[in-house]
Amino acid sequence: MQTPLQVTFRSTTQSDALAAQLGRGTEHLDRIFDRIISCHVVVELVGHHHRHGDRYRVSINLGLPGQELLVTHEPRGEEPLHATADRAFDDVGRQLDDWVRRRRGSRHPKARDST
């Protein structure tokens, strides 16, 4: 990655354990495509329930050459924050994989049939 991972915590305190997990997620993305320009992750408290606890939204903005990918995940039911972050990285990883596949395909146009 050309710039270091940026992590923003909104309406919540910073978690070193979560920041480390997010770092491992970006390392995985780097293995899919090694020319990622930037990655900005926003962890935001979106609600609190007295029985079910805090609910967090995780957004990932991935900067690529000539393109940006944006994924936002809300928790499913009582899903913990770490699981929400994992789902967000899974989704952006799939989008990145698709983007890389399309990009490689566009470099080699199909040969025209000369009949």
All structural domains of the chain with their residue ranges: 6-106
How do 38-49 and 6-10 pair as beta strands? parallel
Rounded to two decimals, the pTM is: 0.85
Q: How far apart are the first and last CA of the chain?
A: 46
Cα 7 from Cα 98, distance rounded (Å): 25
Structure tokens given for 12: 């919540």
pLDDT confidence of residue 101: 93
Per DSSP, 28 falls in state H
Q: How many CB atoms lie within 10 A of CB 52?
A: 11
Structure tokens given for 97: 């994989």
Amino acid 100 reads: V
Q: Closest Cα to residue 54, out of 43, 65, 38, 40?
A: 43
What are phi and psi for residue 113, nearest 5 degrees? -85, 120
Query: Is 3.30.160.100 the CATH number for 6-106?
Result: yes
pLDDT in tens, the chain (115 residues): 889 999 999 998 899 999 999 999 999 999 999 999 999 999 999 887 656 678 899 999 999 999 999 999 998 877 889 999 999 999 999 999 999 999 888 655 555 454 4
